[in-house]
Structure 1
Amino acid sequence: MDRRVSASVDVRPAQASDLDALVALEEAAFASDRAERRAIRHAIASPTISLLVALDGPVLIGAATLERRRNSRRARLSSIAVAPSRAGTGLGRLLLDAAEAEARRHGCETLRLEVREDNGAGIRLYERAGYARFETVPDYYEDGTTAWRYEKRLAPREAAASRG
């Protein structure tokens, strides 16, 4: 069986009706530092947060959370969550690409993120996508794990569209 992301996967903004599935995804994808139900509900409705969901048919299989500040050209990718059954299928890259496109759509020129120093798959994903580590933050996560901070300068919308 091919475990790559299938053409049937659709990425769209989260809706209020996705709340239960998003809470379940947080529980399945993360051992700690999970977003709480009320924070997810807030993100869905926030004008400065884009919460994107990946669906395979009716099943929510991933999500990406992108935070922006008004009048800022920099966005922050605060989370990518992939259902454990879909790990290693390219879904993380699909969500990262969608988050970058969303950031550009909002006029952002750079995207920053944090990743656990022990998250090898996440580090490989970001480095292969052109992110550069610029800072290490000790004791960043709830369990005391260090975070590596990354940043990428985003190509303008026109350049990104012409590559596709």
Structure 2
Amino acid sequence: MSVPGTVDIRPMTKADLESVLAIEQASFPHPWRYEHFLHELASPHSFPFVAVIEGAVGGYVCLMSLFEEAEILDIVVAPHLRGRGIARALLEHAVAIAQGKQAGIMRLEVRASNRAAIALYERFGFSRTGMRTKYYEGVEDALLMEKTL
């Protein structure tokens, strides 16, 4: 799937991990480690994808789909590329993959302070379903969201 002229979405490979880790580390105080991404690449239930912009990885999504449920485990855009529709393209792709895997529901969690991401998810039809208190670093709440596919 691609957004004409700007974003190409393709499966993540081991060769992408250096770029993926750089984005992860620039985006989170407690980023996933290399081993987390290797697990995603190896799992038959994981579907990691990268967004390539002008030949470089600019974002990624890690989707898990098992039976009738799908979950977005990680979706990130490089800080200098945010606001260009890349997260929207990744989310559209993740929803399409989950639907193709016959998932009936998609879930995710997001930092309660991440208003831009919450607004994007709500535009995609995700509803707020709960809260995990002090989930992130024992300080920040996680908002739970889901969407019927």
Return the TM-score normalized by structure 1.
Answer: 0.85
Q: Quote the residue 1:36 is aligned against.
A: 33
- Structure with larger Rg: 1
Aligned partners of 1:138, 1:8: CA distance in 2, in Å?
38
Q: Output aligned runs, 1:37-52, within 5 Å.
A: 37-52=34-49
Of 90, 94, 108, the match for 1:99: 94
Whole-angstrom CA distance in 1 between matches of 2:130 and 2:30: 20
Q: Tell me the residue number matched to 1:57.
A: 54
What is the alpha-carbon distance in structure 2 between the residues aligned to residue 86 and residue 68 of structure 1? 27
Q: Secondary structure at the match of 1:98?
A: helix
Q: Which amino acid aligns with 1:75?
A: A
Alignment of 1:4-153 (within 5 A): 7-30=5-28, 32-69=29-66, 72-153=67-148
For the aligned residues, what is the CA RMSD? 1.3
- Number of equivalenced pairs: 147
Q: Structure 2: where are the runs of 5+ without partners?
A: none
Runs of 4 or more, structure 1, over 4 Å off, are: none
Q: Which amino acid aligns with 1:25?
A: I
More displaced 10-residue stretch of structure 1: 111-120 or 21-30? 21-30
For each residue in 1:42-68, what CA deviation from the matched residue of structure 2 results, as whole angstroms up to 9, or x when unmatched?
111211111110001320000001112
What is the CA distance between 1:7 and its match in structure 2?
2.1
Aligned to 1:160: none
Using the size of structure 2 for normalisation, the TM-score is 0.93
